[in-house]
Amino acid sequence: MNKDVDVTESEQPEPAAAGLDETLAETVESPTAEPGPAWPSCPSCGAEVAPEDGYCEECGADLLVRRSEPVAPTGGPCRTADCAGESFTDGYCDVCGTPEPDPRDHYERDLGAVAGVTDRGLRHSRNEDDMAFAVIGATGEAPTVVAVVCDGVSTSYKPETASATAVHTAREHLVLALRRGEDPQSATLGAFEQAHKAVVALPSDPTDAANGRASTMVSVVASEHGITVGWVGDARVYWLDQNPEDSLVLTLDDSWAGRMIADGTLTEEEAFKSPLAHTILRWLGPGAPEEPANLRVFLPEGPGLVLACSDGLWNYLPAAADLARVAAGGFGGLLPAASALTAVALEGGGHDNITAVLAPWPTRHPEPAGGEPTGEISSLSEGIQS
C-alpha cells in the first residue's frame, strides 16, 4: 500500500506523455478549470435558475440530483437484420418469430460522473441484470455518486422484475436519504432493506407459490469522504487503481465459493472448480436470510475508478488488476471503458448477463463544455487503442 501512495503522488503533479495519464490530468483539473454557469436552466421545465438554487422555483424539480433513466417499455422493430417486422404477438415477431426486442437486452447510461452498460450476453434469452445510478450535488463541489447493480437469480420467478425493482428502489432510497443528510452507511443499509421489501412485495409464481422472486445487489456511494459499498450476493465492487497492480475487490461474494475462500477451506482456484461455486447464499426477496447487508467503507489513497458489476463480467476477468487495465481508458471517458469491459465478457463467450458501472474517484462533474458525449468517446477510443 505504501508503494501505491508513492506512485499516485509522484505521477499526479506532472502530466506525462502517455494517453492515460494525459486524460487523467484533464479530469482532475476540469471541475475548477471552467467555473462558468453549469445550470443556466432547469432540466425539467427549462426555467432560468441560479447556480446556488437547490430546487427550481418554477416547477420544484430537484436541481441537485440527476438520475439515470430506466429503459423504455418497448423495444422498437424486430432485431433480426433482414426482417421488416414491426408488430409482435405473444412476445414474438409476427414475421420471423424472433423474440420481441427487449430494451433491456442492451442499454447504456452516462451521467458524466458515472456511466454503465448492461447487456444480455450471448447465451441467455433475457437480461436479468439491471442498473440505476444518480449524481447528487451542485457544480463547483465534488458530487456524490450513487450506483446500484442487481443480478436477478436465474432460477427464481421472473428474475428480471426482481432486479429492476431492486435497483430503482435502492437508488431512490439512497438519493433521498443522502439528500436528507443521512450518512452513507445507514443510507446503504436502508436501501437494502427497502429493496428487499420491494422484491418480497412482488407477486410470486402463480403456479408455484414457493418460487418467489430473488436478486443479488451491490451499491456504491462515492463522495469526497470515500467509497461506501453495500452488497448481498455475488455481484462485486472493485477499486480499479490508477496503478492497476494496486486494484482490489471491495466485496466478498455471498456464494459457496466466496465462503470457502473466506474461511480458508479452499483456494480460489479450487473453490471455483466446484459445481457449487456460484450457489448464492444471500439474496433479496422471499426466504432471504434476515441480516443487514454487507458493508465496507474504503478511502482510496489516490485517484482511480469504482466498478460495480455482475458476475457475468467478473467470471471472465476476476482479477482486479486485469479489470483495471481494460478500464484504463475510463479515466477520460467512462462509457467507452464500461463498454470495453462488457466487450471482454462477450468475446469470452457471454455466458451470463453482463453489467458494468464505472465512476471515477475523486468524484467529478462532467466538464460543462464536454456535455456532448461524442467528443469524449472519440478521444477516448483512440486512448484505448493506443
Partner 1 sequence: MSAQPQFSVNVYQNEYLSEGAAEVNAIVSVQSAAAYGGAPNTRAAQVIMVDCSGSMDYPPTKMSAARRATEAAIDAIRDGVPFAVVAGTHVARMVFPGTEYLVPADASSRAAAKAAVSRLTAGGGTAMGQWLALADRLFTGHDQAIRHAILLTDGKDEHEEPSDLAAALSRCEGRFTCDCRGIGTDWVVAELRRVSTALLGTVDIVADPTRLATDFQQIIEHAMGKAVGDVRLRLWAPQGAQIKFVKQVAPQIVDLSARRAPGPNPLTGDYPTGAWGAESRDYQVCVQVRPGSVGDEMLAGRVSLVSVDGAGQATTLGQGLVKATWSDDIAQTGRIDRTVADYTGQTELADAIREGLEARKNGDLDTATARLGRAVKLAAESGNDETALLLSKVVDVEDPATGTVRLKSRVSDADEMTLDTRSTRTARVGKNRNNG
Name the residues that contact partner 1, by CB under 8 A: 83, 89-90, 92-99, 122-125
- Nearer of residues 88 and 283 to partner 1, judged by Cβ: 88
DSSP 92: E
- Nearer of residues 125 and 155 to partner 1, judged by Cβ: 125
Least separation, in Å, of the C-beta of 126 and partner 1? 9
Least separation, in Å, of the C-beta of 350 and partner 1? 8
Least separation, in Å, of the C-beta of 103 and partner 1? 17
- Nearer of residues 327 and 354 to partner 1, judged by Cβ: 354
- Nearer of residues 208 and 263 to partner 1, judged by Cβ: 208
- Nearer of residues 14 and 90 to partner 1, judged by Cβ: 90
Give the whole-angstrom CA distance, residue 116 versus residue 327. Answer: 12
Given a contact cutoff of 8 angstroms between Cβ atoms, the answer to whether 341 and 299 are in contact is no
Least separation, in Å, of the C-beta of 319 and partner 1? 27
Give the whole-angstrom CA distance, residue 215 versus residue 206. Answer: 19
Q: Which amino acid is at 3?
A: K
- Nearer of residues 93 and 114 to partner 1, judged by Cβ: 93
Given a contact cutoff of 8 angstroms between Cβ atoms, the answer to whether 218 and 192 are in contact is no
- Nearer of residues 238 and 316 to partner 1, judged by Cβ: 316
Given a contact cutoff of 8 angstroms between Cβ atoms, the answer to whether 204 and 161 are in contact is no
**What is the DSSP code string of 41-86?**
B-TTT--B--TT-SB-TTT--BTTEEEPPPPPSS--S--STT----
- Nearer of residues 228 and 355 to partner 1, judged by Cβ: 355
DSSP 255: B
Least separation, in Å, of the C-beta of 286 and partner 1? 26
Give, in degrees to the nearest 5, the angle at Cα 234 between 231 and 237: 55
- DSSP lists the bridge partners of residue 108 as 117
- State the Rg of the chain over Cα: 21
As a residue count, the chain comes to: 386
Q: Is the peptide bond before 143 cis (omega within 30 degrees of 0)?
A: no
Least separation, in Å, of the C-beta of 294 and partner 1? 33
Least separation, in Å, of the C-beta of 159 and partner 1? 17
Mutual angle of helices 373-385 and 19-33, in 10-degree steps: 150
Q: Which amino acid is at 114?
A: V
Least separation, in Å, of the C-beta of 97 and partner 1? 3
